[in-house]
A = this chain, B = another copy of it.
Amino acid sequence: MKEVRLAEAIEGTSGAVLTAPRASRKARETREKLIEGALLALCEDGVTGITTRKIAERAGVQLGTLHYHFENKDMLLLAVLDMLGARLARTLRLGVAGSRNLDECIQRALLTDWNATEENFAIQLVQYELTLYALRTKGAAWMAQRQYNDYIKAHNDVFAPHAPGNDQTTAENVQRLSQLVMAGIDGIILQELAAPDLARSRSAVRALISAMQALARSLGLIPA
């Protein structure tokens, strides 16, 4: 388990990190194939069961090619985490587009989050595994952190336009709302993964929506 070098990760925002700057089209495609292959392999065997050979096979690529594109296995897995995070944030943005007020926006955001999960539990499981994996990988804890903060920020960016006023207090309250929304949905997802019970989880999501709307109201983010 080699320590991840931070040098390559100076580029600011998500999605771009871990992507070699100078790369031909073919190379970028192969890279993409490897990441997708890794995701496939992860869905099947999880972080503990994954091997570079399985990844290469799933990607339809020779083992050596993997090491040409990625310094080591860690970097590849972290690239998968990065991709998943970006993908989820994009889904969220699309899901809430067109909301007319904060009430609706909260509802849509949570339903989007939940539906994304329900569509593919395996990927959601992989996401958690990789987040914990990043926390464990020496020099990569910041990736888990950035991933989480980015996702909170995604919610934040989506809620903020619907909040009244641009003052500091409002911003802080929106931030608080985003954090609790994230925490709530994460907890429900985790519960569903560990002890599947779709009806229960859906009802929990509905309860969470109400609770978060109530919270927004009590924070003065929704006019009474």
Name A's B-contacting residues (CB within 8 A). 1, 45-49, 125, 128-129, 131-133, 135-136, 144-145, 147-149, 152, 176, 179-180, 182-188, 190-191, 193-196, 200, 203-204, 207-208, 211, 214-215
Copies in the complex: 2
B195 lies within 8 A of A183 (CB): no
Q: Considering only CB atoms, which chain B residue lies closest to A186 in the complex?
A: B187
Cβ B182 vs Cβ A183 within 8 A: no
A152–B200 CA distance with the chains assembled, in angstroms:
13
User: Does B200 contact A45, Cβ atoms closer than 8 Å?
Assistant: no
Residue among A131, A149, A187 with most chain B CB within 10 A? A187
Task: Output the least CB separation between A47 and chain B (Å).
Answer: 6
CB-based contact A179/B194 at 8 Å: no
Whether B149 contacts A195 by the Cβ 8 Å rule is: yes
A187 to chain B, nearest CB (A): 3
Known pairs A179-B191, A180-B204, A186-B186; list 15 more (Cβ under 8 Å): A46-B132, A46-B133, A48-B133, A128-B128, A128-B132, A132-B193, A144-B194, A145-B195, A145-B196, A180-B207, A184-B184, A184-B187, A185-B187, A186-B187, A186-B190
In the assembled complex, which residues on chain B have CB atoms less than 8 Å from the CB atom of A48? 47-48, 133, 136
Q: In the bound complex, how far is the Cα of B152 from the Cα of A152, in angstroms?
A: 27
A-B contacts, 22 listed (Cβ < 8 Å): A1-B49, A46-B136, A47-B48, A48-B133, A48-B136, A125-B132, A144-B195, A145-B194, A147-B194, A152-B195, A176-B204, A176-B207, A179-B191, A179-B204, A182-B187, A183-B188, A183-B190, A184-B187, A186-B186, A186-B187, A207-B215, A211-B211
